[in-house]
Amino acid sequence: MQIKSKVYNNTLYVLLCGELDEHSATHTRITLDNVFSGGDFNQIIIDLSELEFMDSTGIGVLIGRYKKMKDKNIPIYICNPSKQAEKIFKMTGLYDIMPKIV
Amino acid sequence: MKINNFMEVTFKAISINEGFARICVAGFCLQLNPTIDEVNDIKTAVSEAVTNCVVHAYPKHNGMVTMRCEIEGEMVKITVKDSGIGIKDISKAREPFYTTRPSEERSGMGFAVMESFMDKINVENNDDGGLKVTLYKRIIKNQAQVRNA
């Protein structure tokens, strides 16, 4: 898993590249927490266009990050999920807390 | 022509083998000429089943996982089996959002995802210990060929 990020117009853009499963979950959690901890932004957009695979472990990772950012009143949005990721997000109600944007 | 085929692999229950299991089963299923979506559905369900073995089956040591994939006609049957501690209450474990480890940011959606991505799943404790998860998916060959054309 590779994570790229940049801040533009008070928005933190995060691109997840690779596979998000149990094997990559710990690295993803630590890296995202690190990226989310600093910088001048008031919202986060997570781009999944380069995410080649995700299972339900990814839901746990994303909800964990949501909880941390909720305390700081920073909303997180999701864009470009795969069909499989979209199905998991809809099943779990993730979009209720991390809305999808186009 | 009706295909009857199977493969079986045994690997250590460690997380790096989740990706191996996904690729392995996806490669084997290609002989049915599935769509990309069908392959991705199977990969997702297999990943959930293997993750269960990695995370829950062996709390004290790294045991083994045996994955068998059978093809009979249009039906793919995948069995993921471990020799670990099994699950005491399987119906409870299959409830969406149920997790024994909420502090570890686990979603508790593994079985729900398997059910959603496959046609049918079966979960049972083995007589000699451990858990066996069986996943079924029908790949309708002619339709897949038309869709891929």
What residue ranges do the domains of chain A occupy? 2-97
B106 is catalytic: yes
B107:A60 CB<8 A:
yes
Q: Average the pLDDT over B31-38 and give the result.
A: 94
Contacts of A92 in chain B (CB under 8 A): 96-97, 107, 109
Give SS3 for B50: helix
A91:B116 CB<8 A:
yes
Among B146, B107, B139, CA closest to B3? B139
From chain A residues 39-78, the ones with a CB under 8 A of any chain B CB are 53, 55-57, 59-61, 63-64
| Range A2-97 classified under CATH 3.40.50.740 | no
Among A22, A8, A14, CA closest to B13? A22
pLDDT at residue B103, as a whole number: 75
Label residue B62 by pLDDT band (50, 70, 90). confident
pLDDT at residue B66, as a whole number: 98
How many degrees, rounded to 5, is the angle at CA B48 between CA B126 and CA A50? 165
Q: Express each pLDDT in B110-129 by its tens digit.
A: 999 999 999 999 999 999 89
Q: Average the pLDDT over B36-61 and give the result.
A: 96
Q: Average the pLDDT over B72-91 and give the result.
A: 95
A84:B117 CB<8 A:
yes
B147 is catalytic: no
Contact B135, B121 (CB under 8 A): yes
Q: Express each pLDDT in A37-54 by its tens digit.
A: 988 999 999 999 999 999
B48 is catalytic: yes
Q: Which listed residue (B106, B125, B138, B147) is catalytic? A: B106
What is d(CA B59, CA B13) in angstroms, rounded to the nearest whole number?
11
pLDDT at residue B101, as a whole number: 79
Residue B45 has pLDDT above 80, yes or no: yes
Domains defined along chain B, listed by start = 4-148 (3.30.565.10)
User: B30: distance to nearest CA of chain A, Å?
Assistant: 18
What is d(CA B82, CA A93) in angstroms, rounded to the nearest whole number?
31
A91:B104 CB<8 A:
no
Give SS3 for B22: helix
Residue B144 has pLDDT above 80, yes or no: no
Residue B22 has pLDDT above 50, yes or no: yes
pLDDT at residue B100, as a whole number: 82
